[in-house]
Chains A and B, each alone.
Chain A
Amino acid sequence: KAGVTQTPRYLIKTRGQQVTLSCSPISGHRSVSWYQQTPGQGLQFLFEYFSETQRNKGNFPGRFSGRQFSNSRSEMNVSTLELGDSALYLCATAERGRDEQFFGPGTRLTVL
């Protein structure tokens, strides 16, 4: 099976802009989770989608949102970008969501 794919791999934006990141799960995986990784805060859970519904949510402001499509592909959107949003955004997929997760290579977002 093909692995988890994330696009784009690198992105440079300026403050105030918005960005959309995409994640395509492994075939058959219905759970998609998003994480933010920074040197200061480490890996933090953003949210999880399962069958097009947000099932769990971490402690992030409303500027961070997501959605999942009927083919399980997921997008994450960050509006009104701040410098502190610079991070590696990782997507992880699983068959059900509570066991082994398979991670994509990540999208490196730089906010200038």
Chain B
Amino acid sequence: SQQGEEDPQALSIQEGENATMNCSYKTSINNLQWYRQNSGRGLVHLILIRSNEREKHSGRLRVTLDTSKKSSSLLITASRAADTASYFCATDGASGGSYIPTFGRGTSLIVHP
């Protein structure tokens, strides 16, 4: 089963608007990561946030983490057409000493020029 679940599944916005995607997970984590994937190609790492962090910024990206609610959000500000992609959250799924990285099903973002 998927550890991380993104919401919404699809998001369509105009260039210049902000896009917010959410991720929920089920078990304790050490860190949570967000990735971007363009059209069936490899994933690109965007940002990593550790369990003891609440917010992190990288350029136009802002990630928050609420471990009490087991949720994270990714905000892309001033979106561009080039931001059109699928966005995935991934948790480290640490359990019993093993490490099983688990990805959600992703949010498909379309930014219209």
Contact = CB atoms under 8 A, between A and B. Distances in A.
A1 interface: no
A98 B43 contact: no
B42 A45 contact: no
Given A98-B30, A99-B31, A99-B48, A45 B102 contact: yes
B101 A90 contact: no
Interface residues of A, number: 25
What's the interface size class on B, roughly?
Answer: 20 to 34
Interface of A: 4, 33, 35, 42-45, 48, 55-56, 58, 88, 90, 92, 97-106, 108
Given A99-B48, A100-B45, A105-B42, A48 B105 contact: no
Contacts of A100: 33, 45, 48
Nearest to A100: B45
Given A98-B92, A99-B31, A99-B48, A42 B43 contact: no
Nearest to B98: A56
B1 to A, nearest CB: 10
Interface in B33-52: 33, 35, 40-45, 48
